[in-house]
Structure formats: C-alpha cells, structure tokens
C-alpha cells in the first residue's frame, strides 16, 4: 500500500466535502466572497471548488447520509458562523465517517492498485 487512508482523506475526501459545502452555500444565494469569509478560505478557492478544479473526484451527493451531514453543517454555518476550527473539526468527523462506511475504498484502490478492498478492512475497523 503506497497510499494510506489518511492520504486519501486529506487529498480527496476532505476537499470533496468542502466542495459540496461550497455548492450548498452557493445554492443559498451567497456570493463567493461571502462563502469564503464564512469558510475562512479565499474567494479564488471558492471559485476553484465551483469550477470543479478542486475536490471533484468524489461526488458527495451520491451518499445521502453524508450529504445530509454536509447540508446540516451548511445550515449551521449560515446560522451561527462557527469558528474555522469548528468547521474543520466537523469536516474531519465527516471524512472519517466516509472512511468508516467504506465509501472511499473503491477510490483508494483506483489510486493505489496495491490496495485490495476485499482484504483491506483498516478504515472499517478503525472508523466504522
């Protein structure tokens, strides 16, 4: 295994969750600058998420349970303006949930052909 689960989470899962969060906030009529301020990222980063230049490998909306968590986070962000750390903490929790449910196994095996999803139970056992 050349690519471990944490690499996959950091490089692909977390950015995909953030991209989905940006999409949801944009759907609420917020401007890119407003979204950037709420998420503590630049307007250009928001633009890259919306153009699918970032976080495009995983379509989070395909996982209704995860998508519901991201939608709830978006609502909380609009309502409460949580700190950068609170947002990050929740995105990490959701990332680990995706790993623990096995949603990322096929992507992991595509990124690293040495990973055999039929044999690997690391994420399921650690985060499931």
Return mean pLDDT, the chain: 95
Encoding tokens for residue 51?
């153009």
Confidence check: pLDDT of 1 > 80:
no
pTM as predicted: 0.94
Mean of pLDDT values over 115-123: 91
Sorted by sequence, the CB contacts under 8 Å of residue 46 that are 6+ apart come out as 22, 32, 33, 35, 36, 39
DSSP 8-state secondary structure symbol assigned to residue 97: H
């Amino acid at each position: 295994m050349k690519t471990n689960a944490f690499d996959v989470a950091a490089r692909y899962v977390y950015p995909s969750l953030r991209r989905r969060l940006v999409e949801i906030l944009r759907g609420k009529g917020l401007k890119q600058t407003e979204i950037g301020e709420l998420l503590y990222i630049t307007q250009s980063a928001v633009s890259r998420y919306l153009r699918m230049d970032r976080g495009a490998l995983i379509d989070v909306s395909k996982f209704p349970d995860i998508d519901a968590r991201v939608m709830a986070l978006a609502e909380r962000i609009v309502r409460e303006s949580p700190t950068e750390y609170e947002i990050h903490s929740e995105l990490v929790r959701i990332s680990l949930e995706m790993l623990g449910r096995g949603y990322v196994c096929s992507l992991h095996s595509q990124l690293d052909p040495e990973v055999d999803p039929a044999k690997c139970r690391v994420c399921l056992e650690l985060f499931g």
